[in-house]
Amino acid sequence: MDRVAILRKACFKKGEDILGDILAGRKTIESRWYVNKVAPWDNIHAGDTVYFKESSCPVTAKTRVGKVLQFDGLTAVSINEIVTSYGKLIDPNISEDEFTSWCNSHPEKRYCILVFLEHVEKIGPFEISKQGFGISSAWLVVGDINRVRI
């Protein structure tokens, strides 16, 4: 099953190169923090393929999902445990304190998905159509990438 993850140019800290860190193997977990259970909640599994694109850019990388962890009912304690256990794999460019501060500044986040990335590779760029997924969708469950490939 194929998915498309749309990355912001910077997530936790201005000036980050999220896709560059993924391609270099420094970022080995893609995390998504949500207020509600939205895609890919309960709809991503080990062995799936995730294609990456930065906002306003074509798809340029893909990976295989090694493992998925989901956390619901987040509290300050559970967020701290996630940050302590996985923070450097989620974002290698910030300290645990900076990550915890970011999490604490978003107390509305109740759900977290950790997607462990394996066999990341750069691929030839291609565009996709997000039609039918919503203008601000940041994670697309597409089934077959050719369904959205332009």
DSSP character for 8?
A: P
- What pLDDT tens digit does each residue of the chain (150 aa) get? 999 999 976 554 555 688 999 999 999 999 999 999 988 899 999 999 999 999 888 999 999 999 999 999 998 888 889 988 999 999 898 888 888 787 778 778 899 999 999 999 999 999 999 888 877 788 899 999 999 999
- Cα(136)–Cα(6) distance, rounded to whole angstroms? 10
- Cα(112)–Cα(134) distance, rounded to whole angstroms? 21
Residue 79's CATH number: 2.30.130.30
Expressed as residue numbers, the domain containing 33 is 2-147
DSSP character for 65?
A: E
Task: Please state the domain count of the chain.
Answer: 1
Cβ neighbours of residue 51 closer than 8 Å, sequence gap 6 or more:
2, 3, 4, 5, 59, 61, 62, 123, 128, 145
Query: Does the predicted model carry a pTM greater than 0.75?
Result: yes
